[in-house]
Structure 1
Amino acid sequence: MSLSVGTALRDGWTTFRRTPWTFVFFVLFAFVLSTVVDLVPGFAGVIVSTLVELWATVGLIRGAWLGLNGQRPSFGDLIKINGPDIWRLFSRQFLLTLLLGVISTTAAFVAVKAADAGEIAQSIFWRVQGIEPSNFEEINRLFTEIQSLSIAILSSPVSVLVLLIAAVIAIYIQVNQLFLGFVAVVRSLGPIATLREGFRIVQRQWWTVLALLAMQLLIILVGLIAFGFGLLAAIPVVMCSTASAYRQLFGDDDSTRFLTSR
């Protein structure tokens, strides 16, 4: 199967335009709910915020899928809660985050070692642990040390090369996993198999998928420029275009039946 960026973007806009206010109100509702739960203190707040984000993502995926089927998703379709889908999305995203975290941490460690800036990095680490937001003197010292660390790394060709290689690897993985949410929700695959499926399908048209991602980032940027309110439309359009691209590459089979059942 081949991917047409133009078709994906047209499908995304057409699907959104079919029921624009449903998508806009859902994104607004999710944003307000996320803002409220951010007020929950401590680790409980992190858990609740994560659940809201996962629920909103699954809702948009479902709305986009129904819209591409020619249906008009309702607000009730988008707010529908499905525990197994949320868990599948969380576990796959967690694995991807862990993979990217290992790559970035390893690259940072090697870059600091190559720049012989271990003492500065360690000082920054401990300073961050005990810094008070109201202590401007400590904050200024922190920024000074960060500046010194940056200069040390940029002065080392090996450090710069390591960071560039890590950035390229991270971008390669992110593009391959652009459809991770849909694979996680639509298919009953394990976490590792979900990531592997993304690599298997996308890498054959990696540059085309990168072009789609670039266009989607442009849409989000336009939404931000429009005083931020444009994001209420930009986010659903991007999700619907991603759904169209997914179906072009992976097919429209919904083995879990959550997206097509109402």
Structure 2
Amino acid sequence: MHASVGRHGPRLDFGDALQEGWRAFSRSPGPFVGFPLVVVALQFLIQPLQSQISNGGVASSDPLDWILYLIGLTANLLLNLWCAIGLVRGAGSAIQGGHPSLGQLMRWDGEVFGRLLRAWLLLAAVVLVPLIGLLLLVGGPLALLGFYADQLVPFSRTLVEVLGLSLAVVFALLLGVLLLGVIYLAINQSFLTQIVLFERAGSRTALQRGRSLVDPSWLMVLLLMLIAGLLMLLGLLACLVGAFVAWPLVVCIATAAYRQLVLASGDADPLPPHPSP
């Protein structure tokens, strides 16, 4: 491992992370590919619940269809979180030299699941609260101005146009700032699942830990995430079958990068040691 600690904090060597992630995936490719297959199969079984709200492009008016849709949506979220925890757990074991089985990946851990769910909900709130505030404080008046423009024109067309243009510019600028904030958060929370699982951190602590861990190497983590996204895209293009390889591989790479950053910052190895045979 070539990561080092400098005066600006730890730096990520994504080349090492890619190699270590690939080695980890190679230790148990069958279980790593099999678990996402199981999850996708379960999601396919509940898909009819979510298809009830639309018939030929027309939204259903039956409340029961919407209840079933919400149940299906919730089930999909739970399955995705279950898969994320299992893959990260398996990646940590494989990086430490283990050969995780499908049963180990599928093992349910309600405590970790609850912490991860709360962390993701908190992260969603961090994004949604300013977005809703922007829509209410700027988007609302802009929409009302556009709706009642014809009634206001007799007073002063120039005033209406200037006010509308000013609101539109402010809205665009603030939306752009918010988008940059979302991108920043998306990168510095790249290891949220790893932090929750291996450091047993609560939701607020996990978000703060993600920021302190990633910020010194933010650009390198951004590059790593772009490479991971490219791997996922290539997997999807390979008749979708490759996605079941790319998905766990990306998780192994991300977990290797997370471990590298933790060790480079001077903290103890966060991954549990693999028991000796």
CA distance in structure 2 between the aligned counterparts of 1:176 and 1:230, rounded to whole angstroms? 27
Partner residue of 2:270 out of 246, 253, 262: 253
| Superposition map of 1:50-89 within 5 A | 50-89=77-116
Note closer, same or farther for the CA distance 1:70–1:92 as it changes in structure 2 (3 Å cut).
same
One-letter identity of the residue aligned with 2:254: T
| Superposition map of 1:105-184 within 5 A | 105-113=132-140, 116-118=142-144, 156-184=168-196
8 Å CA contact 1:111–1:162 kept in 2: the answer is: no
CA distance in structure 1 between the aligned counterparts of 2:38 and 2:171, rounded to whole angstroms? 44
CA distance in structure 2 between the aligned counterparts of 1:34 and 1:89, rounded to whole angstroms? 20
8 Å CA contact 2:11–2:216 kept in 1: the answer is: no
Structure 1 position 171, deviation (Å): 0.6
Name the SS for the 1:117 alignment partner. helix
Whether 2:221 is the aligned partner of 1:209: answer yes
CA distance in structure 2 between the aligned counterparts of 1:103 and 1:220, rounded to whole angstroms? 30
CA distance in structure 2 between the aligned counterparts of 1:66 and 1:25, rounded to whole angstroms? 17
Structure 1 position 98, deviation (Å): 1.3
- Of 105-114 and 64-73, the range deviating more from structure 2: 105-114
Paired position in structure 2 for 1:136: none
Structure 1 position 48, deviation (Å): 2.6
One-letter identity of the residue aligned with 2:111: P
Structure 1 position 103, deviation (Å): 2.8
Structure 1 position 71, deviation (Å): 1.1
- Segments of 5+ residues of structure 1 without an aligned counterpart are 122-151
Structure 1 position 245, deviation (Å): 0.6
Note closer, same or farther for the CA distance 1:157–1:225 as it changes in structure 2 (3 Å cut).
same
Structure 1 position 207, deviation (Å): 0.8
Name the SS for the 1:156 alignment partner. helix
Note closer, same or farther for the CA distance 1:97–1:60 as it changes in structure 2 (3 Å cut).
same
Structure 1 position 111, deviation (Å): 4.8
CA distance in structure 1 between the aligned counterparts of 2:189 and 2:48, rounded to whole angstroms? 31
**TM-score w.r.t. structure 1 length?**
0.79
CA distance in structure 1 between the aligned counterparts of 2:133 and 2:230, rounded to whole angstroms? 31
Name the SS for the 1:30 alignment partner. helix
Runs of 4+ deviating beyond 6 Å: none
8 Å CA contact 2:12–2:257 kept in 1: the answer is: yes
Whether 2:253 is the aligned partner of 1:227: answer no
Paired position in structure 1 for 2:33: 24
Paired position in structure 2 for 1:12: 21
Task: Using the aligned pairs only, state the percent identity.
Answer: 30
Note closer, same or farther for the CA distance 1:107–1:77 as it changes in structure 2 (3 Å cut).
same
Larger Rg computed on CA atoms: 2
Name the SS for the 1:185 alignment partner. helix
- Segments of 5+ residues of structure 2 without an aligned counterpart are 1-9, 50-67, 148-163, 264-268
Whether 2:42 is the aligned partner of 1:33: answer yes
Give the paired residue count.
228
Structure 1 position 72, deviation (Å): 1.1
